């Protein structure tokens, strides 16, 4: 018989659990944490009570909490107590691996809370499988071993869990040789049951309290769970009693991508090369491979003609035509042929390809076939498709994500909490609720506990300056602002095209500080340099979120252009649906989307209660239709001035 797991307090029934939970939360925030120097923050306590209430009533809850609220501690207390109460772990889904570490790493928030409250919180990370070493790949790297550093070789020999985070200096080039990827067919691997990835899964399956995942892992489990169980396989995650989405505003894209399929051109080319080099393959098989290769190139060439070019979007929409569907269909047929030939004559290829490779190629062909099948069905009306602006992958994802979420998650009747600093436009959650198809939800919103009135001044471009809205004038204003502030600025643009325009414009000026350009370095490196080089200026379209630079290195935030949404295919679908419902597309999609992104961007400036700074919006706001949306996205209480009044001295 299992020993009873001690919870943070005693109770006899569900009613008493709720009562005691609220009492305990009050004790922790009003008495225990202040003893260790933590401030009493009413915003944090309110958020904690709201989350507790949602858990106890099985609600879906939207908990918006401004920067500095301490929302992580606020939801962790309830998550831990509820896991003990329900006897099943609670899942916390974060937006990235780095945030998983921040929460559950050895010095993360859970470890700190555990220590302060003298509780043994059992929290384990279920990371993206790409973050783990694959023993089968390591065994195949004999040629590459000599080129790996001693540090990497030593780590490979001694690591128990094989997590990439254990060795931060690992180059991407080396990780490609030894880290797990989709081409590995675990189902038929002889190391299955013994390898580190499998052990990692066994480890997090045994957690008692919390499983910390990223959004991708969570949705991969959610969409495949029923099928895996029906096939007698273990799902990715064990059974859980509740879900908390940290950075909940970011779930739509990972949810869509995990529910969809894609064709990566580079991987397809590798597979074609490998197949065509098979020794002793029959002519009919090679002819199937060659036909597939032709159809593949024809499809992607035609696809390229059908892309809606947009410099501002990372995903390019596709104009679906009969001609494109015809080439997609032809490509699909050649894939089907090749797959049949592959399966019938598998033994012939065993000498040239490992069983693992054969299985991986079959999987790749099957996934590509599914993507094309969904694309062609009903002329693409049931799907959203795009081409990735970075690696050129072709993506097909279901259009009915809200229905899927409803069926697989909301109807489970378990508590689900979405937390973020940006879920609403001035307390109006409608846009977020609509995008992810929520129906009955409870909501809470609290602002930042910082003294924003005295920490931030916002300067606007008055509409009377419209006639001066030319690039030269904007560049002159930018130079003047940067000089007055001595650099120390983050300039947010809406596209890489704007970044290039600014670089060209600044070319004739000699600025006495370093400029860090988004396209001239890896994101993490740029943000670290920006933090360390106090007078540097960071310019880019990709820094509206995830830049945390407290102190003197960031005292000026310049919005070069308001972040109106692009022609991103996911946004386009929302626009289309709004139009079909007779709604004003700008008001129901574009303005709220812009408002949420602007709110995120403004949140980069003040990171602690000691920070001070200015936000400058160079785009026009005053007198526009979106003025109130912009005002609602600015730090609450901040003083508003016109750009002419700027005086940083």
Shortest distance in whole angstroms from residue 131 CB to ligand SF4: 12
Q: Minimum distance between the CB of residue 335 and ligand SF4, rounded to whole angstroms? A: 24
- 200: contact with ligand SF4 by CB under 6 A: no
Chain centre to alpha carbon of residue 62: 18
Q: Does 141 bind ligand SF4 (CB under 6 A)?
A: no
**Measured CA distances, 240 to 87, 339, 413, 421, 450 (Å):** 9, 38, 12, 25, 36
Least distance CB 171 / ligand SF4 (angstroms)? 20
Rounded least distance, CB 139 to ligand SF4, Å = 8
Among 74, 136, 243, 371, indicate the residue that binds ligand SF4 (CB under 6 A). 136
546: left (phi over 0), alpha (psi -120 to 50) or beta: left
* CA gap 219, 212 in Å, rounded: 13
Q: For ligand SF4, which stretch binds (CB under 6 A), given 134-142, 263-271, 498-506, 611-619?
A: 134-142
By CB under 6 A, residue 135 contacts ligand SF4:
yes
Which of 49, 55, 180, 450 binds ligand SF4 (CB under 6 A)? It is 180
User: Which of residues 193 and 280 has its CB atom nearest to ligand SF4 in the complex?
Assistant: 193
Q: Is 167 in the site for ligand SF4 (CB under 6 A)?
A: no
What binding mask, one character per residue, do residues 473-512 give for ligand SF4 by CB under 6 A, x or -? ----------------------------------------
Least distance in angstroms from the C-beta of 263 to ligand SF4:
22
Among residues 133 and 237, whose Cβ is nearest to ligand SF4? Answer: 133
**Cα three-residue angle 35-39-44, rounded to 5 degrees:** 120
Tokens of 406: 């409803």
Q: How far is the CB of 229 from ligand SF4 (least distance, A)?
A: 20
Query: Residue for token digits 């042929």?
Result: 337
Shortest Cβ 130–ligand SF4 spacing (Å): 11
Residue 408 token pair: 């697989």
Please report how close the Cβ of residue 186 comes to ligand SF4 at its closest, in angstroms: 3
361 touches ligand SF4 (CB under 6 A):
no
Q: Which residues contact 578 (CB under 8 A, 6 or more apart)?
A: 584, 585, 588, 589
For the CA atoms of 350, 354, 357, 359, the dihedral, rounded to the nearest 10 degrees, stands at 60
Q: Which is nearer to ligand SF4, 134 or 397 (CB)?
A: 134
Q: Which residue lies nearer to ligand SF4 by CB, 18 or 192?
A: 192
Q: Which residues contact 523 (CB under 8 A, 6 or more apart)?
A: 542
DSSP 8-class letter at 30: I
Single residue of 28, 79, 99, 184 touching ligand SF4 by CB under 6 A: 184
By CB under 6 A, tell whether 197 contacts ligand SF4.
yes
Residues 202-228, buried b or exposed e (16+ Cβ, 10 A)? eebbebbbbbbbbbbbbbbbbbbbeee
CB 346 within 8 A of CB 601: no
Distance CA 155, CA 146 (A): 14
CA distance 170 to 498: 33
State the nearest-atom distance from the C-beta of 371 to ligand SF4, in Å. Answer: 23
Q: How far is the CB of 196 from ligand SF4 (least distance, A)?
A: 7
- The candidate with the shortest Cα–Cα distance to 45, out of 74, 85, 87, is 74
The conformation of residue 588, written as its DSSP 8-state character, comes to: I
The stretch among 58-66, 178-186, 280-288, 395-403 that binds ligand SF4 (CB under 6 A) is 178-186
- In 431-555 the beta strands, taken as DSSP E runs, fall at 442-446, 456-461, 489-492, 515-517, 537-540
**Nearest CB to ligand SF4, comparing residues 357 and 535:** 357
Q: Which of 98, 186, 308, 515 binds ligand SF4 (CB under 6 A)?
A: 186
Distance in Å, CB of 256 to ligand SF4, minimum: 26
Query: Per the structure block, which two tokens stand in for 424?
Result: 């609403």
CA distances from 261 to 162, 177, 322 (A): 28, 24, 21
Is residue 189 a contact residue for ligand SF4 (CB under 6 A)?
A: yes
Q: How far apart are the C-alpha atoms of 304 and 294, rounded to whole Å?
A: 15
Out of 79, 134, 211, 358, point to the residue binding ligand SF4 (CB under 6 A). 134
Pairing label, strands 613-620, 456-461: parallel
Q: 186 vs 308, which CB is nearer to ligand SF4?
A: 186
Q: Report the nearest approach of ligand SF4 to the CB of residue 466 (Å).
A: 59
Could you say whether residue 191 binds ligand SF4 (CB under 6 A)? yes
Max intra-chain CA distance, the chain: 79
Cβ neighbours, 10 Å, residue 376? 19
In contact, 482 and 618? CB cutoff 8 Å: no
532 vs 517: CA distance, rounded Å: 16
- CA gap 123, 581 in Å, rounded: 45
Task: Considering the complex, state which of residue 189 and residue 259 has its C-beta at the smaller distance from ligand SF4.
Answer: 189
Beta carbon of residue 258, minimum distance to ligand SF4 (angstroms, whole number): 19
If the CB atoms of residues 97 and 493 are measured against ligand SF4, the closer one turns out to be 97
Instruction: Indicate the residue among 180 and 431 with the shorter CB distance to ligand SF4.
Output: 180
* Region near ligand SF4 per CB under 6 A, out of 180-188, 216-224, 530-538, 562-570: 180-188
The C-alpha atoms of residue 505 and residue 479 are separated, in whole angstroms, by 10
Q: In angstroms, rounded to a whole number, what is the distance separating the alpha carbons of residues 60 and 57?
A: 9
Q: Nearest approach, Cβ of 279 to ligand SF4 (angstroms)? A: 24
Angle at 205 between CA 406 and CA 82, to 5 degrees: 60
Binding residues for ligand SF4, total number by CB under 6 A: 12
Considering only the stretches 7-15, 20-28, 188-196, 278-286, report the one whose residues sit in contact with ligand SF4 under the rule CB under 6 A.
Answer: 188-196
Nearest to 237, CA basis, from 270, 204, 208:
204
The span of 59-67, 109-117, 192-200, 559-567 binding ligand SF4 (CB under 6 A) equals 192-200
Choose between 132 and 394: whose C-beta lies nearer to ligand SF4. 132
The reply to whether 199 sits near ligand SF4 by the rule CB under 6 A is no
Q: What is the DSSP letter of 391?
A: T
Residues 280-319: x where in contact with ligand SF4 by CB under 6 A, - otherwise, as a string: ----------------------------------------
Please state the closest distance from residue 202 (CB atom) to ligand SF4, in A. 12
192 touches ligand SF4 by CB under 6 A: yes
Minimal distance, residue 188 CB to ligand SF4, in Å? 9
Task: Compute the Cα dihedral for 543, 548, 549, 550 and give only its sign.
Answer: positive
Burial class of 362 by CB neighbour count within 10 A (0 to 12, 13 to 18, 19+): middle
Query: Which residue from 113, 195, 252, 396 is in contact with ligand SF4, where contact means CB under 6 A?
Result: 195
Q: Is 55 in the site for ligand SF4 (CB under 6 A)?
A: no
- Residue 506 in contact with residue 475, Cβ under 8 Å? yes
Interface contacts to ligand SF4, rule CB under 6 A: 134-136, 180, 184, 186, 189, 191-192, 195, 197-198
């Amino acid at each position: 018989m299992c020993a009873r797991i001690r919870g943070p307090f005693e109770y006899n029934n569900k009613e008493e659990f709720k009562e005691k939970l609220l009492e305990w939360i009050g004790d922790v925030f009003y008495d225990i944490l202040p003893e260790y120097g933590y401030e009493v923050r009413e915003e944090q306590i309110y958020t904690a009570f709201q989350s507790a209430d949602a858990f106890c009533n099985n609600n879906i809850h939207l908990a918006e909490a401004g920067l500095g609220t301490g929302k992580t501690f606020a939801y962790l207390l309830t998550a831990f107590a509820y896991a003990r109460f329900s006897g099943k772990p609670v899942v916390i889904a974060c937006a990235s691996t780095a945030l998983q570490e921040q929460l559950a790493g050895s010095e993360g928030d859970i470890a700190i809370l555990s220590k302060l409250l003298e509780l043994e919180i059992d929290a384990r990370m279920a990371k993206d499988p790409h973050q783990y070493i694959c023993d089968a790949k390591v065994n195949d790297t004999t040629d590459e071993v000599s080129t790996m550093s001693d540090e990497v070789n030593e780590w490979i020999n001694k690591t128990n869990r094989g997590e990439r985070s254990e060795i931060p200096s690992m180059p991407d080039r080396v990780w490609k040789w030894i880290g797990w990827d989709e081409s590995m067919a675990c189902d038929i691997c002889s190391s299955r049951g013994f390898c580190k990835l499998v052990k990692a899964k066994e480890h997090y399956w045994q957690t008692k309290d919390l499983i910390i995942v990223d959004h991708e892992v969570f949705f991969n489990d959610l969409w495949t769970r029923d099928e895996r169980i029906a096939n007698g396989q273990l799902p990715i995650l064990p059974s859980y009693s509740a879900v908390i989405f940290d950075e909940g505003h970011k779930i739509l894209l990972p949810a869509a991508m995990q529910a969809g399929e894609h064709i990566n051109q580079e991987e397809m080319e590798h597979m074609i090369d490998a197949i065509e080099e098979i020794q002793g393959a029959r002519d009919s098989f090679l002819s199937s491979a060659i036909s597939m290769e032709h159809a593949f190139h024809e499809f992607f060439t035609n696809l390229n003609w059908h892309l809606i070019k947009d410099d501002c979007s990372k995903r390019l929409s596709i104009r679906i035509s009969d001609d494109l569907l015809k080439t997609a269909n032809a490509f699909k047929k050649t894939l089907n042929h090749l797959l049949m030939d592959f399966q019938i004559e598998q033994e012939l290829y065993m000498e040239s390809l490992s069983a693992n490779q054969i299985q991986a190629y079959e999987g790749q062909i099957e996934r590509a076939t599914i993507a094309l099948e969904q694309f062609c069905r009903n002329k693409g009306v049931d799907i959203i498709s795009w081409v990735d602006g970075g690696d050129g992958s072709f993506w097909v994802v279901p259009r009915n994500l809200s229905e899927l979420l409803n069926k697989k998650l909301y109807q489970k009747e378990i508590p689900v909490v979405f937390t973020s600093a940006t879920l609403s436009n001035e307390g109006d959650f409608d846009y977020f609720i609509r995008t992810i198809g929520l129906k009955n939800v409870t909501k809470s919103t609290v602002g930042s506990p910082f003294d924003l009135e005295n920490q931030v001044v916002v300067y606007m471009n008055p509409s009377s300056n419209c006639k001066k809205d030319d690039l030269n004038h904007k560049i002159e204003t930018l130079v003047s602002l940067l000089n007055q502030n001595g650099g120390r600025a983050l300039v947010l643009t809406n596209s890489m095209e704007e970044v290039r325009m600014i670089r060209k414009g600044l070319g004739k000026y000699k600025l006495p500080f370093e400029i860090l350009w988004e396209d001239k370095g890896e994101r993490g490196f740029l943000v670290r340099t920006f933090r360390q080089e106090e007078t540097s200026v960071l310019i880019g379209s990709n820094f509206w979120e995830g830049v945390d630079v407290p102190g003197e290195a960031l005292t000026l935030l310049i919005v070069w252009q308001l972040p109106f949404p692009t022609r991103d295919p996911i946004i386009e679908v929302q626009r289309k649906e709004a139009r079909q419902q007779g709604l004003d597309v700008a008001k129901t999609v574009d303005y709220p989307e812009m408002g949420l992104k602007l709110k995120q961007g403004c949140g980069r400036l003040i990171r602690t209660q000691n920070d001070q700074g200015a936000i400058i919006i160079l785009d026009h706001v005053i007198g526009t239709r979106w003025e109130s949306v912009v005002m609602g996205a600015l730090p609450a209480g901040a003083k508003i001035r016109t750009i002419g009044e700027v005086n940083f001295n």
